[in-house]
Chains A and B, each alone.
Chain A
């Protein structure tokens, strides 16, 4: 079946602009996660959704970062007023009711110039 998909695959934006990153989880998966992968910081957790609610937002690095999930499916990660340090690969993962296996998408590579 179809895996986790993310769009766009690459995004180049100017410092100060807002960006939206999209994640389509595997159909039927109730949990959705966002992570960030960068050279300096490695793989970092950002936010976790169970259904449409976000019980764990502890990884969001600043109030410029926000995310929502609608219909228990698609999620959007929004970064406002982007900074150069936001440049990274943003990975989305989803998991079924069994929470132990997270399946990752291919990521969105964000470059802030």
Chain B
């Protein structure tokens, strides 16, 4: 069984400040991990993915995440927030290429960027 915990349902940062969105996972098999972003009234857009290659992965819009097996974490960061980053962010896990393909999502973190 898999699960994802996102700490903080709402995060507020100032424009230009560091963005840190937390994600911890639980998986009985080596996981694949994803971050998705959802803008209002839109579907989910893939930001980045970890699939057992490099532990530091870079995605679109300047975001990156680091897979830390010892901490079972996959936190999302961006050095400098833009107003356009305001959205809801979801962390998700699957069981890799030999296991269950369905995504298990966290409950989401709404990012607010203050001018």
Write the residues of chain A forming the contact surface with B, with a CB cutoff of 8 angstroms.
Answer: 4, 31, 33, 35, 42-45, 48, 56, 58-59, 91, 93, 99-107
Tell me the residues in window 28-76 of chain B with beta carbons closer than 8 Å to chain A beta carbons. 32, 36, 42-46, 49, 51
CB-contact partner of A107 in B32, B43, B97, B104, under 8 A: B43
19 additional contacts (CB under 8 A) given A100-B32, A100-B97: A4-B43, A42-B108, A43-B90, A43-B103, A44-B105, A45-B102, A45-B103, A48-B101, A56-B100, A56-B102, A58-B102, A99-B101, A101-B46, A102-B46, A102-B103, A104-B36, A104-B44, A105-B43, A107-B43
Could you jot down 22 A-B contacts, CB within 8 Å?
A4-B43, A33-B103, A42-B105, A42-B106, A43-B90, A43-B92, A43-B103, A43-B105, A43-B108, A45-B103, A48-B102, A56-B101, A59-B102, A91-B44, A93-B44, A100-B94, A100-B97, A101-B46, A101-B49, A102-B103, A103-B46, A104-B36
Q: B107 an interface residue at 8 Å Cβ cutoff?
A: yes
Contact A106 B103 (CB under 8 A): no
Which chain A residues border B92 with CB–CB below 8 Å?
43
Candidate in B51, B92, B101 with the most chain A CB atoms within 10 angstroms: B101
Number of A-B contacts defined by CB within 8 Å: 49
Query: Could you tell me the distance in whole angstroms from the C-beta of B58 to the nearest C-beta in chain A?
Result: 15
Q: Which residues of B contact A (CB under 8 A)?
A: 32, 36, 42-46, 49, 51, 90, 92, 94, 97, 100-108
Task: With CB as the reference atom, state the residue of chain A lying closest to B90.
Answer: A43
Taken together as a complex, chains A and B put the C-alpha atoms of A11 and B29 apart, in Å, by 39
